[in-house]
Structure 1
Amino acid sequence: MSLEPLLYLSEADVTKLCQSIDPLAIVEDTFCRVAQGVAGVGAEAALRWAAPDGTAARSLVLPATSGNTHGCKVINSCLGNLDRGLPRAHGLIVLHDDATAAPTCVMEGGVISALRTAAVSAVSVRALRDLAAVRSIAVLGCGRQAATHLTLLTPLCANLRRILAFDLNVERAKRFADSHSRQTGIHVADDAEAAVRGADLVIAVTTTTTPYAQLDWLQPGATFLNVSLDDATEALLLRSDHLIVDDWNLVRNDHHRLLGQLARTGAVIGPTKANTTYGRRVDADLATVVSGRYERPVHPHHRVVINPFGMGVHDIAIAAEVQAAAARSGMGMLLPR
Structure 2
Amino acid sequence: MDHPVPPFSVIPGAQVAQALHGREKEIVELVEDTYRVHGAGATVNPPSYFLRFPDRPSSRIIALPASLGGTDDRSGVDGIKWISSFPGNIEHGVPRASAVLILNDPHTGYPYACLESSIISATRTAASAASAADRLSTDRGRPRRVGFVGTGLIARYIHTFLDGTGWSFDEVGVFDLSPDSAEGFRGHVTRTVPGSSVTIHETAESLVRGSDLVVFATVAGSPHVHDPGWFAHHPLVLNVSLRDLSAEIVLDSFNVLDDVEHCLKADTSPHLAEQRTGNRDFVHGTLDQVMSGAVLVPTDRTVVFSPFGLGVLDLAVGRYVHECVARSGELHTVDDFFHELSRHG
TM-score where L is the length of structure 2: 0.87
Is 2:178 the counterpart of 1:174? no
Which residues of structure 1 form unaligned runs of 5+? 270-279
Change in Cα spacing, 1:228 to 1:158, as seen in structure 2 (3 Å) is: closer
- Report what 1:208 is aligned to: 220
The equivalent residue for 2:47 is: 43
1:27 aligned residue? 31
Give the whole-Å Cα distance in 1 for the aligned partners of 2:268 and 2:115: 29
Q: CA RMSD in A?
A: 2.0
2:9–2:332 Cα contact (<8 Å) kept: yes
Whole-angstrom CA distance in 1 between matches of 2:35 and 2:279? 23
Q: Aligned to 1:255, what secondary structure does the other structure show?
A: coil
**Residue 173 (structure 2) pairs with residue 164 (structure 1):** yes
User: With structure 1 as the length reference, what TM-score do the two structures score?
Assistant: 0.89
Contact between 2:250 and 2:269, CA under 8 Å: does it hold in 1?
no
Aligned to 2:272: 261
Q: 1:115-130 maps to which residues of 2 (within 5 A)?
A: 115-130=123-138
Give the conservation status (yes or no) of the 8 Å contact 1:60–1:74.
Answer: yes
Deviation track 1:131-189 (CA, whole Å, cap 9, x = no partner) reads 85311001001110110010011344655100010100112111211232143211211
Residue of structure 1 equivalent to 2:9:
7
The Cα shift of 1:265 comes to 4.9
Give the alignment partner of residue 156 of structure 2, picking from 126, 147, 168: 147
| 3-state SS, counterpart of residue 98 of structure 1 | coil
- Given residue 225 of structure 1, which amino acid in structure 2 is its aligned partner? L
Percentage identity across aligned positions? 28
Partner of 1:228: 241
Query: Structure 1's 281 and 69: CA in aligned 2 closer, same or farther, altered over 3 A?
Result: same
Q: Is the 8 A contact 1:165 1:195 kept in 2?
A: yes
Evaluate the alpha carbon distance shift between residue 268 and residue 151 of structure 1 in structure 2; reply closer, same or farther with a 3 A threshold.
Answer: farther
Distance 1:3 1:174 in 2: 50
1:66 corresponds to: 68
Name the aligned partner's letter for residue 304 of structure 1: V
Residue 9 of structure 1 contacts residue 106 of structure 1 at CA under 8 Å; is this kept in 2? yes
Q: Go from structure 1 to structure 2 and tell me whether the alpha carbon gap of 1:20 and 1:197 turns closer, same or farther (over 3 Å shift).
A: closer
Q: Is the deviation greater in 310-319 or in 256-265?
A: 256-265
Partners of 1:264 and 1:312 in 2: how far apart?
25
Distance 1:211 1:268 in 2: 20
Q: Which residue of 2 aligns with 1:310?
A: 309
Q: Residues of 1 paired with 2:54 and 2:8: CA distance?
A: 33
Q: Which of 91, 95, 99 pairs up with 2:99?
A: 91
Q: How does 1:183-202 map to 2 (within 5 A)?
A: 183=193, 184-202=196-214
1:126 shift after superposition: 1.1
Count of residue correspondences = 321
Q: Secondary structure in 2 aligned to 1:151? A: helix
Distance in 1, Cα, partners of 2:168 & 2:152: 25
1:260 counterpart letter in structure 2? H
Once residues 159 and 263 of structure 1 are traced to their aligned partners in structure 2, the CA distance between those partners, rounded to angstroms, is 36
Q: Does 1:286 align with 2:280?
A: no
